[in-house]
Structure 1
Amino acid sequence: MDNRTNLDDYLAGLGISDADENAPPPPTLEMSAAPLPTLEAAHEEPRVVLDRFLKGLTARIDPSLTYEIHEAEDALEAEINGEAAQKLAGRDGRTLHAIEVIAYTVLAKQAGRSDLRVRVDVGGFRRRQADTLAKLAERLAVQVTKSGEAHELQPMPAADRRIIHMTLKEHPDVMSESVGEGAARRLVIKPRHG
């Protein structure tokens, strides 16, 4: 069996492919893992769909992982915990972002809710990242206030830019704005007056 077939089978098990769901999973997956969502489960409650997705994901990655799902106004938020949870963040949160994209895709397809966002945190990674970005924003605000010159940051994801914007929203001496397009979009912190 070639790698493409294995990938199709795996994606079918996640509910994001039209491949035959009765095909055997790739050999690297444990056969005892919890079943994943199927295509026939269309338009279920979003929380049920996300729960089933996370149950299958965590069972296949590390059965000792646990998760909780909370409903926010515009999103479903999940927190994955356990000894191996930190590893799920990946380098610069890339693996975590991929998990969110797949979870959103499954939710949109099976619950028919492309308007509902999915936010996933693993072992408090996002919380720590938000604290780090807020502290960076405060340090840069002091620097910009002292120098009187604007400071341009490297391109960053929209969620990270939002944290900095919110941190500096009420700052009396500096303001922030996003500039650029697409993946090159970045923040500029500049003096509020002058």
Structure 2
Amino acid sequence: MDNRTNLDDYLAGLGISDADEQAPPPPAPEPAPAALEALSEEPLTVLERFLRGLVSRIDPGLSVTVRETEDALEAEIGGENAGRLAGRDGRTLGAIEVIAYTVLAKQAGRSDLRVRVDIGGFRKRQADTLTKLAERLAIQVAKSGEPHELQPMPPAERRIIHIALKEHPDVLSESVGEGAARRLVIRPRHG
């Protein structure tokens, strides 16, 4: 991965400079025929091209594979240094996912498709950890008979725990709260 320490140098490498920020935005151009053609491109192609362009600037040794599932486009970024790209607690991964969704919506005109990106197996390891946590807490709640409330977490993480406990005979899970404070509570099923 590129170890640039100066943000200005990094932005300049991407073709972005301070002058870009201070100049008034140019008038919106008429859509070029190529832009209209891009709207007819397959979403998978648009996403794959975007992610390949992104990772080639960060670390040319990284690979990208994209596949279509029933409800989403799933991308896997792999390679020797892929794990570093996920960032602390997956924050960079989350940002890449949001940008990828935005590019897909703009370039392919498809805001109805979900985009899931995994980098170096980070999401899979995270799902395994959350599933194990759910199992441990289910045993604890079943033994004590007392509900357990977890810290606020993103919807994708809550969903993993809900799925892990969906068929559990002794406990059930529910989300409570609003917005960023929404959290999961595991309760005894009977009692």
TM-score interval, smaller chain: 0.7 to 0.9
| Pairing of 1:1-194 with structure 2 (within 5 A) | 9-10=15-16, 41-194=38-191
| Residues 117-170 of structure 1, C-alpha deviations (whole Å, 9 max, x = no match) | 110001110000000000000000000011100000000010000000000000
Taking only the aligned residue pairs, the percentage that are identical comes to: 73
Report SS of the residue matched to 1:138.
helix
| Residues 88-125 of structure 1, C-alpha deviations (whole Å, 9 max, x = no match) | 11111110000000000000001010000110001110
CA–CA distance in structure 2, aligned partners of residues 129 and 48 of structure 1: 27
Report SS of the residue matched to 2:94.
helix
Aligned structure 1 segments of 4 or more residues deviating by more than 6 angstroms? none
The alignment covers a number of residue pairs equal to 167
CA–CA distance in structure 2, aligned partners of residues 151 and 121 of structure 1: 29
* TM-score, structure 1 as length reference: 0.81
Report SS of the residue matched to 1:44.
coil
* TM-score, structure 2 as length reference: 0.82
CA–CA distance in structure 2, aligned partners of residues 42 and 63 of structure 1: 28
1:74, CA displacement in angstroms?
1.2
Unaligned runs of 5+ in 2: 1-7, 17-24, 27-33
Unaligned runs of 5+ in 1: 11-18, 21-37
